Structure 1
Amino acid sequence: MGAHVRAGDRQIWTEQVGQGPDVLLIGGLGDTVESWQFQLDGLADRYRLTAFDNRGAGRTPMPAEGATVAGMADDAAAVLDALGIGSAHVAGFSGGSLISQELALRRPDLVRSLVLQSTWAALDPYFRAWGHFVEWLVDNASDERTFLESFFLWIYTPRAHNDGTVAAFIDEVVAFPHKQSAEDVHRFLADIWHYDSTERLPGISAPTLVLAGGVDPTARPHLGRAVADLIPGARFEVWETESHQPFQEVPDRWNARVDAFWQEVAARAGTPHPRAADDEHPSPDRPPAPSARGG
């Protein structure tokens, strides 16, 4: 069960599970701890995982000053500080990957390593046009289900739409009681669309793994490659058959990859991580877990 953590003058809804080296999971647009459920379930046998609702999403209220990437990075740092976590492996997807970049730049002492899923340094014209469409859709969709049916076309693979995974996901999201308001969606997006870390990314010192989906129509692979090229020593991988959120569509593959990366980081530092007994025998991939929004 989660609980609110006092971070400065804010109350941030946080969930922590497992035992072992610390991991901080940072979601994207409107995402709550539930978006990481397959990681909270699948990695808790070897890590202590912390996830939280971004400001204005789920059970974390939007502060009067609104949402900026820098402010949300400060929220992430405040959660770690409040929980007494000196440093953690940090993983973020989409908008959460920007927050993760910013956290690594603002508080490098807290970031043991970075996993950036579906990331970018700055929007290109196509991505910016898509962002404006999302804002239009927020205001003009007839209801939440219609919004999700349209929005998720860009988030999940055709495979997930055709096999019923996305339909089941939408049912769960519609039933989720902690809705994000349209106003808070706009407040979140306003800063995301103008974020540009291009000039500062060479300042990230944490070991970094950048993952991109080969069929992701939003954060396309060349945008992730540009991030990896700017971060010293970063690794870049394209998963050719995956889209924006493979950590939900193929969670066992994603969990195994980031676990291997974290183990490598620990080995280089001389502090090997524990390894689960069943690592060589992963369970079948499962459909995505519920969240307030995807992306």
Structure 2
Amino acid sequence: MGETIETDAGGIWVERRGEGPDVLLIAGLSDPAEAWQAQLDGLADRYRLTAYDNRGTGRTPLPAGPLSVPGMADDAAAVLRALEIPAAHVVGFSGGSRIAQELALNHPRLVRSLVLVSTWARPDAYSHSMMGFWHWMAERAPNERAMLEAFLLWIYTPRAHNDGTVDRVIEETMAFPHPQSVEAFQRQLAPFRTHDTLDRLSEITAPTLVMAGELDIATPPRLGRAVAERIPGARFEVLPGEAHQPFQEVPDAFNARVATFWQEVQIRG
């Protein structure tokens, strides 16, 4: 059961599960903490996991004024400090991976290790146009279902579209009692569309694993590879046959891989 915690940045909704070394899960565009359910369930026997709703998502309110990626990273830092977590293994997905990059750059002592999933550092022309399309699609789609059906074409594998997984995700999203408004979606998307960390990634000192889906059309592997090449000592891995959201489509394999990485980090001290 989650709760709203008071931080220096205001109220933020968090979900916590398990016991052990601390893990912070940072979700991507529009995703509430529940996006990490398979990790909250599957890793809680070994780790203490914290997931939270980003600004304008789920139960964390949308503030006045524009959002920024560094500002959302400050929110992540505020969550860790409010929960008295001195340092955590940090996992960031998609837009959340941009937040995780800034967290590692601006609050390095809070980051024990870094896993960046479906990530990028500098938006290229394709990324810029894609996210521009998402911006106006959110307000011009005929209804919520049509918006989700279109948006999720970039997110899940053809396998998930054909086996009913995407239909189930759509039903669950539409039944979620804390839907994201069009305004919140667009305001959260805006900083992800333009934010650039490429020239600063060499400053990240945390052990880093970068994971990309072979079939990801939203953040193709070439973008993740560019991130890994800039972070000293980072590992880069492509997940065969997977797309943008592997931690949901193949959670057992994903959980096993990140747990192995964290164990290696702990052994190295």
TM-score band, normalised by shorter chain? over 0.9
Question: What is the CA–CA distance in structure 2 between the aligned matches of 1:58 and 1:72, rounded to whole Å?
Answer: 15
Q: Which amino acid aligns with 1:134?
A: W
Cα separation, 2, equivalents of 1:109 and 1:84: 13
The corresponding residue for 1:84 is 84
Structure 2: gaps (5+ residues): none
Name the counterpart of 1:215. Answer: 215
Aligned to 2:23, the other structure's residue is in SS state strand
Distance in 2, Cα, partners of 1:23 & 1:228: 21
Tell whether the 8 Å contact from 2:92 to 2:99 is kept in structure 1 after alignment.
Answer: yes
Q: Distance in 2 between matches of 1:168 and 1:121?
A: 31
Q: Deviations over 1:241-266 (max 9, x none)?
A: 00000000000000000000000000
TM-fit CA distance, 1:30? 1.2
Q: Percent identity?
A: 62
Aligned ranges 1:114-129 → 2 under 5 Å: 114-129=114-129
Deviations 1:228-249 (A, max 9, x none): 0000000000112000000000
Give 1:63 shift. Answer: 1.2
The equivalences for 1:139-178 within 5 A come to 139-178=139-178
Q: Which moved more, 1:256-265 or 1:61-70?
A: 61-70
**Which sections of structure 1, spanning at least 5 residues, go unmatched?**
270-295
Residue equivalent to 2:13: 13
1:131-280 superposed matches below 5 A: 131-269=131-269
Amino acid at match of 2:254: W
Aligned residue for 1:90, secondary structure, equals strand
Aligned to 2:68: 68
What amino acid maps onto 1:222 in structure 2? R
Note if 1:35 corresponds to 2:35: yes
Partner of 2:194, secondary structure, is: coil
Could you tell me which residue of structure 2 aligns to residue 280 of structure 1?
Answer: none
- Taking the aligned partners of 2:159 and 2:98, their CA distance within structure 1 comes to 27
TM-score by length of 1: 0.90
In the other structure, the counterpart of 2:55 is 55
Contact in 1 for aligned 2:27/2:92 (Cα 8 Å): yes
- Partners of 1:208 and 1:228 in 2: how far apart? 8
Cα distance between partner residues in 1 of 2:87 and 2:146: 41
Deviation at 1:7, TM superposition (A): 1.0
Amino acid of the structure 2 residue aligned with 1:212: A
| Residue equivalent to 1:288 | none
C-alpha deviation, 1:86, in angstroms: 0.1
Q: SS where residue 12 of structure 2 aligns?
A: strand
Cα deviation, residue 66, structure 1: 3.2
More helix by share: 2
Deviation at 1:128, TM superposition (A): 1.0
User: Secondary structure of 1:200's match?
Assistant: helix
Q: What amino acid is aligned across from residue 203 of structure 2 in structure 1? A: G
- Asked if the contact 2:137–2:147 (Cα under 8 Å) also holds between the matched residues in 1, the reply is yes
Tell me the distance in 1 between the aligned counterparts of 2:132 and 2:62: 22
- Which residue identity is paired with 1:140? R
Which structure is higher in RCO with an 8 Å CA cutoff and minimum separation 6?
A: 1
User: Which whole-Å CA distance do the structure 1 matches of 2:169 and 2:192 have between them?
Assistant: 25
Q: Distance in 2 between matches of 1:176 and 1:104?
A: 31
Q: Which moved more, 1:65-74 or 1:98-107?
A: 65-74
The AA in structure 2 aligned to 1:123 is P
Residue 9 of structure 1: how far off its partner (Å): 4.5
Output the CA distance in 2 between the equivalents of 1:134 and 1:246: 21
- How far apart, in 2, do the equivalents of 1:9 and 1:200 lie? 25
- 3-state secondary structure, aligned to 2:114: strand
SS in 1 for 2:90: strand
Matched to 1:229, the amino acid is E
Distance 1:230 1:14 in 2: 31
